């Protein structure tokens, strides 16, 4: 196998993530209910971390969830759940509900319950006989929903899933919205008569003779509000104070409760003012804000929900030659699926029969459908458009691309960015600070300015209820949720907030060449024999020794040999020398194949081919030699087509003042030609796979360098991990997901620009939300305290203050939702338009109307022995010349002994068969292209 520094083996794949947990460590996913603000999340986080064996805790307020890593030998699930319950919240596992056939025997049900409980990750199983329903509580961090269903089907009981994780999340979300809506409506219903009476009393004397009875009526209505609506806040406040912490509930309960208690005192004992209306108004506006906030928070996670909805629920499987509809969880590896036109592809697999176009936009964000032929990979959740496909299943459950994407997006939304730590610190001291400010405000106006007790008390209540720790807690997580969801919709997976914070600082970006800047499918462009050998001899020996090779260069050589119908032989004494090449015996002949350094190492002279090698390298070819018994018999020029948009992407990065580099194992001349053709000025040539990490460290050692590394997962994992930002770029089924911070499902380079733009916009939104949440409190609290009373001449009433408090959280979530206006497809289209301009210039160069030394990546073909830049046909006998035939508006191109339409070569058309003709004949011989 050719070892040319770009070894393409040992991929870190999407289906084989790295497991960072020891066998005794468990990752636990919990649903948390009862949280009202960031202090609640902090309280749960702190409590869980105090338990022995807890290694990591991430509590996410917007999704009301938590991820906990713990050692099962030191703490168990019951202790974790109890610790959350003890501080006033409820933690639950994922739940699966399965309805069964009413005729199922009780003995089978009893046996099923016992068997399911024995499975690791399943913690409780109950059966409701009236509904014939199994309820299974499981930890989705240990066992997937798909795996639970598979284990259930193994028990031989007929059943159908009626509720899974997606349905559970929807139910919880809808229940939360309904609960918040009821609180608001009840509170508003009570407030209406209180407010009406207050307004009548303010502007008329109708109730002048009935003030005391009216006070009793208001007391009764407000007491109902305090019990029905206020209990929601009082319970939260009690739980918080019991655990020696404070949260938003404490502020609301303190504000409304203070107004209520003083009004009760005035009604039954004293003769002061009453503030029943203010007390109820606080609850009403806060409940309204919570209702709107729940609706808005639900919208921040729509991208994740839509991804989950892409999962198929059933599939058509061939069983003994008969098509059978089965539940998706009953599918096994190697099953053959039948997918008709217009149907969703149920699960990942390989096409075995049929040709069709598949819409992958829901996974990759690309609107152009992709042509699929036998042996092509298809992704579950995509849509088959116009042909019947038979697909062999090669991934199931959590190993599928869609499942891995969902897991990554969930992980990104639970990981706290460094900026969140600042918000958490502020939230931790926020409530006590506000209470202190409230007491100072009361003291100042009552004792310092001799205002009445009632007026001073209102200033205290206004300060308490205008302050909003919720806005601080939601500012960053909501932005992260919307940003990561928007990226997932376009095939850009960002692993978390820390990556978002780092990307905007990147000023150096390193590209691995093979598979990243290039298509990763090299072709033999030139075959030059020496020392009486023929072209067939060179391909015979080179192809034979490369048999079984997984390296792209080796595959290109074998493909070329097979195209020429050369029968290859077996190899003995095979040796692979990493970074140099391969050697072995074919019959009695010792064959050596490799790069130029290998020739020098083996004392094989290449002097006779020096001029040809220099010329080929200067054109961007990778040159390998073939030697037989110590003598050179030929050189092969191999070129990997550059990806479309590569030059436009590099230009855009330079516009953003980001220095670009290229890493390659190619010879320096080859590397220089490729780098220059796309505008990269700095490159590292002849780099072995093991040296990539050192190159990243070298760049990082430069002053103020923040380095991003872009690779396709081929031997790039260490460098991706070492870089400040690792970006894995691939086809969607073979990505270094564990090593990278950002994963691009689709391999187009313009996705890098889209990813950078998305990351920067999301980071800016995080800062913007945090700023507005902070500035709201910095301005609102002084207003409520009456600092501007001397200028404005009025105070902020408690009711208005509570409205501001409610709207502050809603405004932060709404601000995060504005990120959805970012059109990533438009960014990609802008890059495409720049590339089209570049194509025009390249065409002018190729037709001699413009000078330049650029490599025209769009016109490189497999067979280098044909003149791919030909502009005419010539008869070798008589010299007759004629123009090349045209197709789709351009000259046709010589390719593998035929003339083909240029559109065959453009990846955006999926390699469609658009026009192929034979060379015309003249003087009874085939004409040649020149």
Alpha helices in 58-141 (DSSP H): 77-86, 106-117
> In 3-state terms, what secondary structure has residue 572?
strand
For residue 323, give Cα distances in angstroms to 149, 316, 320, 381: 22, 6, 8, 20
Q: Are 555 and 675 in contact (CB under 8 A)?
A: no
Give how far Cα 872 sits from Cα of 252, 585, 841, 868, 903, Å: 84, 44, 20, 11, 19
Nearest to 758 by CA among 826, 811, 679, 815: 826
**DSSP conformation class of 642:** B
**H or E stretch including 665?**
none
Distance between CA atoms of 815 and 408, rounded to whole angstroms?
24
The closest alpha carbon to 709, from 698, 697, 723, 695, belongs to 723
Alpha helices by DSSP H, listed for 664-749, are 668-678, 692-700, 717-722
* Alpha carbons 670 and 855: distance in angstroms, whole number: 12
- Chain-centroid distance of CA 793 in Å reads 52
d(CA 670, CA 667): 5
Collapse the DSSP code of 64 into the 3-class scheme (helix H, G, I; strand E, B; otherwise coil) and give the result.
coil
β strands within 397-503, DSSP E: 492-494
Q: Which residue has the tokens 């400010």?
A: 437
β-partners of residue 98 are 134, 161
**Pair of tokens at residue 495:** 């692993």
Neighbours of 160 (CB within 10 A): 12
512 is known as an active-site residue: yes
- Cβ contact 351:372 at 8 Å: yes
Q: Is 206 in contact with 288 (CB distance < 8 Å)?
A: no
Tell me 608's DSSP state: G
SS (H, E, C) 310-331: CCCCEEEEEECCEEEEEEHHHC
> Exactly one of 6, 424, 512, 712 is catalytic; which is it?
512
| Residues linked to residue 422 through DSSP beta bridges, in sequence order | none
Q: Catalytic residue numbers?
A: 512
């Amino acid at each position: 196998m050719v070892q040319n520094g770009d070894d393409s083996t040992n991929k870190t794949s999407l289906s084989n993530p790295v497991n960072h947990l020891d066998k005794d460590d468990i990752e636990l996913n919990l649903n948390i209910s009862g949280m009202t603000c960031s202090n609640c999340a902090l309280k749960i986080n702190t409590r869980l971390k105090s338990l022995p064996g807890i290694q990591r805790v991430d509590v996410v307020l917007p999704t009301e969830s938590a991820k906990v890593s713990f050692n099962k030998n030191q703490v168990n699930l019951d202790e974790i759940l109890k610790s959350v319950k003890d501080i006033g919240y409820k933690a639950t596992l994922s739940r699966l509900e399965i309805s069964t056939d009413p005729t199922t025997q009780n003995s089978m049900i009893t046996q099923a319950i016992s068997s399911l409980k024995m499975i690791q990750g399943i913690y409780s199983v109950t059966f409701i006989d009236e509904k014939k329903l199994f309820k299974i509580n499981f930890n989705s961090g240990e066992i997937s929903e798909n795996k639970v269903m598979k284990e259930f089907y193994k028990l031989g009981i007929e059943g159908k899933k009626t509720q899974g994780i997606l349905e559970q999340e929807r139910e919880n979300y809808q229940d939360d919205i309904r609960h918040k809506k009821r609180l608001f409506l009840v509170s508003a219903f009570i407030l209406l008569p209180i407010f009406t009476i207050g307004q009548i009393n303010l502007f008329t004397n109708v109730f002048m003779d009935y003030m005391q009875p009216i006070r009793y009526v208001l007391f009764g209505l407000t007491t109902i509000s305090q019990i029905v609506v206020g209990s929601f806040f009082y319970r939260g406040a009690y739980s918080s104070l019991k655990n020696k912490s404070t949260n938003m509930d404490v502020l609301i309960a303190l504000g409304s409760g203070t107004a209520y208690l003083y009004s009760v005192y005035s009604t039954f004992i004293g003769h002061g003012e009453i503030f029943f209306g203010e007390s109820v108004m606080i609850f009403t506006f806060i409940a309204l804000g919570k209702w709107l906030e729940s609706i808005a928070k639900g919208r921040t996670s729509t991208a994740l929900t839509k991804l989950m909805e892409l999962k198929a629920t059933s599939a058509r499987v061939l069983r003994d030659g008969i098509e059978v509809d089965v539940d998706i969880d009953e599918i096994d590896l190697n099953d053959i699926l039948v997918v008709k036109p217009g149907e969703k592809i149920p699960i990942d697999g390989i096409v075995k029969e049929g040709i069709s176009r598949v819409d992958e936009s829901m996974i990759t964000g690309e609107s152009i459908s992709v042509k699929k032929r036998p042996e092509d990979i298809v992704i579950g959740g995509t849509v088959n458009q116009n042909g019947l496909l038979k697909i062999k299943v090669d991934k199931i459950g959590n190993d599928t691309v869609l499942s891995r994407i969902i897991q990554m997006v969930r992980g990104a939304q639970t990981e706290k960015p460094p900026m969140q730590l600042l918000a958490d610190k502020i939230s931790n001291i926020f409530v006590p600070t506000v209470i202190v400010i409230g007491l100072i405000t009361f003291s100042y106006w009552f004792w310092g300015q001799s205002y009445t007790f009632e007026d001073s008390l209102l200033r205290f209540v206004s300060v308490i209820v205008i302050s909003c720790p919720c806005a601080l807690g939601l500012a960053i997580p909501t932005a992260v949720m919307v940003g990561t969801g928007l990226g997932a919709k376009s095939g850009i997976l960002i692993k978390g907030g820390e990556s978002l914070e780092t990307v905007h600082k990147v000023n150096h970006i390193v590209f691995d060449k093979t598979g990243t800047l290039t298509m990763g499918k090299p072709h033999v462009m030139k075959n030059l024999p020496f020392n009486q050998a023929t072209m067939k001899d060179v391909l015979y020996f080179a192809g034979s020794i490369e048999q079984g090779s997984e390296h792209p260069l080796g595959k290109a050589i074998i493909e070329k040999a097979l195209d020429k119908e050369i029968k290859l032989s077996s190899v003995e004494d095979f040796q692979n020398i990493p970074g140099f090449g391969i050697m072995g015996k074919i019959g009695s002949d010792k064959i050596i194949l490799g790069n130029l350094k290998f020739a020098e190492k083996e004392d094989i002279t290449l002097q006779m081919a020096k001029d040809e090698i220099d010329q080929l390298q200067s054109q961007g070819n990778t040159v390998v030699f073939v030697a037989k018994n110590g003598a050179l018999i030929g050189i092969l020029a191999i070129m990997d087509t550059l990806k479309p948009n590569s030059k436009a992407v590099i230009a855009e990065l330079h516009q953003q003042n980001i220095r670009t580099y290229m890493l390659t194992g190619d010879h320096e001349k080859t590397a220089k030609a490729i780098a220059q053709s796309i505008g990269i000025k700095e490159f590292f040539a002849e780099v072995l796979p093991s040296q990539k990490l050192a190159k990243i460290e070298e760049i990082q050692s430069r002053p103020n360098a923040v380095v991003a590394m872009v690779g396709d997962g081929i031997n790039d994992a260490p460098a991706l991990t070492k870089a400040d930002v690792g970006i894995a770029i691939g086809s969607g089924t073979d990505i270094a997901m564990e090593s990278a911070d950002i994963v691009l499902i689709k391999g187009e380079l313009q996705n890098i620009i889209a990813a950078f733009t998305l990351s920067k916009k999301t980071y800016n939104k995080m800062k913007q939300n945090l700023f507005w949440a902070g500035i709201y409190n910095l301005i609102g609290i002084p207003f409520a305290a009456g600092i501007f009373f001397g200028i404005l001449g009025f105070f902020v009433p408690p009711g208005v203050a509570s409205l501001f408090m409610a709207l502050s959280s809603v405004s932060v979530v709404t601000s995060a939702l504005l990120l959805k206006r970012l059109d990533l497809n438009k960014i990609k289209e802008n890059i495409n338009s720049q590339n089209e301009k570049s194509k025009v210039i390249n065409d002018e160069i190729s037709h001699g109307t413009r000078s330049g030394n650029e490599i025209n990546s769009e016109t490189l073909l497999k067979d280098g022995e044909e003149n791919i830049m030909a502009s005419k046909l010539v008869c070798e006998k008589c010299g007759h010349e004629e123009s090349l035939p045209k197709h789709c508006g351009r000259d046709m191109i010589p390719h593998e002994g035929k003339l083909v339409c240029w559109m065959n070569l453009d990846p955006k058309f999926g390699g469609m068969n658009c026009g192929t003709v034979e060379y015309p004949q003249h003087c009874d011989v085939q004409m040649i292209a020149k």
